[in-house]
Amino acid sequence: MNPHFQDLRTRLAEIDDLRSAGALLSWDQATYMPPGGALARGRQLSTLSRLAHEKSIDPRIGELLEALAPQVLELPHDSFEASFVRQARRNFDRSRRVPAEFEARLSDHLSVAYQKWTVARPANDWKAVQGDLEKTVELSRELAGFFAPFEHIVDPLIDFSDQGFTVAKLRPLFAELREFLVPLVEEIASRPRPRDDFLRRPISEEQQFKFVNEIVRGFGYDFERGRSDKTHHPFMTKFSLGDVRITTRAREDNFSEAFFSSLHEAGHALYEQNIDPRFEATPLADGASSGVHEAQSRLWENLVGRSRAFSKYLQPRLQAEFPAQFGDVSSDEFYAAVNSVGRSLIRTDADEVTYNLHVMIRFELECALLEGSLQVADLPQAWREKYKSYLNIEVPDDRDGVLQDVHWFGGTVGGAFQGYTLGNILSAQLFERVRADEPSLDEQIERGEFNTLLTWLRDHVYRYGAQFEPSELVERATGSALGIEPYRKYLQGKFGALYQL
């Protein structure tokens, strides 16, 4: 192999090693670290991240990319080498454009803003963080500025996590969604909600973890190359393609919490565990974008986990394992309960029908803040107005209003939310395509057979990792561009039947 390529590969593998070591330290921090470790852990993480950043902007990487550019043109677009160099180029350009001085200023500011938010949210104290958020908006604008020219100031921030998407592409997509979601929520709200008392019957944490671990093992999550541990805010993390971990939390009086968050994180993990092993320690050993990643978690959590077929598979297992809690519950009752729709204040508690309205509100407010058409001081009021207009709900305080998400207080403003909705839309498009290719999919799920589904996803999405841009990957996997039609059909079909609309 070309010595330049080999040199580049070795350098990028070292950066990957530093980042993976940091990820392991973060995982430990969120699971087992005793409180006394916090101070040193912060320093250790920042050292690793600084070393990785320094290596990633080494001018030698730029020279190697230049030297390889003409050779890559000769190679097929989907070859390992061409994809590797393409992705390495994108990462290098991004790292180089942002001055180290700015990175340090941003990270110092955000760690203060985050600390203050952890106190301000429970205290319902918007004034305590308003000034910090003003500063974050300024810094977010400055960050976007390094990527000028652009059509809209949020475009570069969106492109970091959902490559190829822009405000101009997202606005019509969201408008289409809003057009059918707002009336759908209205219609459902006029119907009685199903019984769901049995979801609150107590089950010990240990029993819940044991049960859901068996379910995700059945999906194909490989415990030889992963594990599941307890944490406060569930996440998936990867140290190598052979070590992809999930975390979960449980509440004794809430079956859905551990169960569905584990299915969600397992969906993210199935993606990473099934990336082509040749991509190990390269920029290709990653998801294609945040939207594509979220599509996998939502697919396993919702399209599978909240389906009628899956409830039929699950019911005898629930009854055998938890007779006191589920002995008198039919699979149809379980199915209706885990698909109960209601207007709620909190995004992370939202059902499938209302979820995207929460996301849209944030996306529109982010755009307005960065454009300068909305001042931070007016944000809580703007938040209330949007909740009234999209969800017909009054927001009683800022704690469960504008202060609820960590995103704007632990990170920049702009580009952090659209991936959730892109993921929902794509999950339905992928599932529709699998069903067309495998007409007996529902019967298989009802029998607890997930291998056909996993194999399809591996062959059409997972194995490619970050080899292709999201739009190209979607086109290759489903035969068409990303569109909301499958998602609209899915939601209207499922909830129309459940609520007899």
Q: Which residues bind Zn ion (CB under 5 A)?
A: 297
Is residue 265 part of the annotated active site? The answer reads: yes
Q: Catalytic pick from 265, 294, 301, 352?
A: 265
**Helical ranges in 58-99 per DSSP H:** 59-74, 80-97
Measure the CA–CA gap between 372 and 86, rounded to whole angstroms.
35
Q: Give the C-alpha separation, 468 to 85, whole Å.
A: 12
Contact call for residues 345 and 404 (beta carbons, < 8 A): yes
**Single-letter amino acid code for the residue at 111:** S
Instruction: Tell me how far, at minimum, the Cβ of 90 lies from Zn ion, in Å.
Output: 23
Q: Which is nearer to Zn ion, 297 or 307 (CB)?
A: 297
Q: Which residue number, 155 or 351, has a Cβ lying nearer to Zn ion?
A: 351
256-268 burial by CB neighbour count: b if 16+ within 10 A, else e? bbbbbbbbbbbbb
**Cβ at position 235, least distance to Zn ion in Å:** 8
Provide the greatest CA pair distance for the chain.
69
- What is the spatial distance between Cα 451 and Cα 155, in angstroms, rounded to a whole number? 38
420 burial class (0-12, 13-18, 19+ CB within 10 angstroms)?
A: buried
Q: What is the DSSP letter of 302?
A: I
For residues 225 and 233, the answer to whether their CB atoms sit within 8 Å is: no
Smallest separation (angstroms) from Zn ion to the CB of 91: 22
Nearer to Zn ion, 30 or 75 (CB): 30
Q: How far is the CB of 249 from Zn ion (least distance, A)?
A: 14
H or E stretch covering 248: strand 243-248
Closest separation between CB of residue 266 and Zn ion, Å?
A: 11
Residue (20 or 297) nearer to Zn ion, CB: 297
Residue in the shown chain whose Cβ atom is closest to Zn ion: 297
**Residue given tokens 């107590």 in the structure block:** 202
Distance CA 295, CA 429 (A): 9
Residue 95 or residue 273: which is nearer to Zn ion going by CB? Answer: 273
* Preceding omega of 149 cis (within 30 degrees of 0): yes
* 133 token code pair: 């958020």
| Minimum separation from the CB atom of position 352 to Zn ion (A) | 14
How many Cα atoms within 13 Å fall on the side-chain side of residue 154?
27
User: Hey, what are 165's tokens?
Assistant: 């998407």
Q: What is the dihedral of CA 93, 95, 100, 106, to 10 degrees?
A: 120
CB of 424 to Zn ion, least distance (A): 11
Nearer residue to Zn ion within complex by CB, 89 or 293: 293
| Strand ranges for 250-386 from DSSP E | none
Burial of 233 (0-12, 13-18, 19+ CB in 10 A): exposed
- CA dist 188 → 116, 266, 336, 495 (Å): 39, 30, 13, 8
**Residue 172 C-beta: closest distance to Zn ion, Å:** 25
With respect to Zn ion, which residue has the nearer C-beta, 352 or 398?
A: 352
Classified as helix, coil or strand, 245 is strand
Closer Cβ to Zn ion, 163 or 331, answer by number = 163
Q: Catalytic residue positions?
A: 265
